[in-house]
Structure 1
Amino acid sequence: MLYPLASLEADKLDAIKSLEKDIGSPVVALAGVEANTAALPEEQLKKLQELEQELGVVLVAVRPN
């Protein structure tokens, strides 16, 4: 399962903003997405990790449908 940022309707966003004020901390809304990660050989995994470092992001290899 992956968790990208959620797309929110205005009423949901307002509810989150209200919660943030109440708890005094930012809140990030994520949406669950079913995905099967790919089992990469060590060499390919190393390439993925190197690109993560270079780009400053998290990369996830998934199995094609």
Structure 2
Amino acid sequence: MLYSLAHLESEKLKAIQQLEKDIGSPVVALEGVDAETVLLPDDKLKKLQELEARLGVVLVAVKPH
């Protein structure tokens, strides 16, 4: 299971914003994504890691459906 930023309806967003005010800290809402990761051979893993570094993001290789 992987996680991404949650898609929130306005009521859920309002509840989270109220919680942020109550606790004095930002909150990030995540939701599960049904995906299975794959193990890459070293040469392909290196390519993935190089692109991660260049783009400044986290990349995850997953099995196609």
* TM superposition score normalised by structure 2: 0.96
Deviation >6 Å, runs of 4+? none
Per-residue deviation at 1:8? 0.3
Give the structure with the higher percent strand. Answer: 2
Percent identity (aligned)? 71
Match of 1:40 in 2: 40
Match of 2:24 in 1: 24
Per-residue deviation at 1:44? 0.2
Per-residue deviation at 1:26? 0.2
Q: Give the gaps of 5 or more residues in structure 2.
A: none
1:9 partnered with 2:9: yes
What root-mean-square deviation, in Å, do the aligned CA atoms of Structure 1 and Structure 2 show? 0.6
